[in-house]
């Protein structure tokens, strides 16, 4: 016990002594961690239809853009809240029940492989993969689509926020399943109107 405590104290003292020389590296690592956590918090807030929590992840003038279908999905806090409410109505109406439980809807976003690039002056870019899992009645969870998010981040009041998120859905996505489950809005990529 004493040996473990001595090692912990020595490690803390060495870290404190090295901190001035490595302050930038520590700050950069913390910023990368905070941005990576932001990517994950996005998925949790979206999956559970935490509308205010979801909107709080973005700058007041943030833009969400679907690069696959070539349209602006949402702009600004009001637009992001409206999009989140629409998703809640379509995919997760059970989350409207305030029973203290985490309600996951028909769709779940799984974010993986985050890569963050700090670009200076409180800005950064990032990329992460996303799988959207759909709950298929009588079958269970099925991968509906795969793609990635390309983000621009801004640090405001010591908090990292998403300023722009571009969605890219990959061509091998399961669009047929989206249509079957009534989750597709309009014609799918490659379909005629």
Mind listing the pLDDT tens digit of every residue in the chain (193 residues)? 556 555 654 455 455 555 555 888 999 999 999 999 999 999 999 988 899 999 999 999 999 999 988 889 999 999 999 999 998 888 888 777 777 777 787 888 999 999 999 999 999 999 999 999 988 888 888 898 899 999 999 999 999 999 999 999 886 667 778 777 777 665 555 565 5
Class in CATH terms, 2-180: alpha beta
Specify the pLDDT at position 18: 54
Angstrom distances, CA of residue 66 to CA of 73, 86, 119, 149: 6, 16, 24, 10
Specify the pLDDT at position 149: 97
Specify the pLDDT at position 115: 98
**What's this model's pTM, rounded to 2 decimal places?**
0.81
Identify how many contiguous H helices and E strands the chain contains and give both numbers: 4, 6
Question: Which letter, b or e, does each residue of 162-187 get, where b requires 16 or more Cβ atoms within 10 Å of its Cβ?
Answer: bbbbbbebeeebbbebbeebebbeee
Tokens of 73: 């999905």
Specify the pLDDT at position 9: 44
β-strands 123-136, 140-156 pairing: antiparallel
């Amino acid at each position: 016990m004493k040996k473990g405590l001595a090692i912990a104290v020595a490690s803390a003292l060495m870290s404190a002594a090295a901190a001035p020389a490595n302050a930038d590296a520590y700050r950069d690592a913390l910023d990368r961690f905070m941005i990576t956590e932001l990517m994950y918090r996005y998925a949790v807030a979206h999956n559970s239809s935490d509308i205010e929590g979801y909107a709080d992840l973005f700058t007041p003038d943030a833009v969400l853009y679907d690069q696959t279908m070539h349209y602006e999905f949402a702009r600004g806090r009001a637009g992001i809240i409206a999009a989140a409410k629409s998703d809640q109505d379509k995919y997760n109406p059970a989350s409207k029940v305030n029973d203290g439980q985490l309600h996951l809807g028909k769709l779940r976003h799984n974010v993986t492989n985050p890569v963050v690039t700090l670009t200076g002056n409180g800005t950064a870019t990032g990329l992460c993969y996303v799988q959207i899992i759909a709950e298929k009645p009588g079958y269970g969870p099925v991968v509906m689509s795969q793609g990635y998010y390309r983000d621009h981040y801004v640090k405001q009041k010591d908090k990292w926020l998403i300023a722009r998120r571009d969605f890219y859905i990959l061509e091998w996505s399961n669009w047929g399943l989206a249509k079957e489950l009534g989750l597709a809005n309009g014609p799918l990529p490659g379909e005629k109107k």
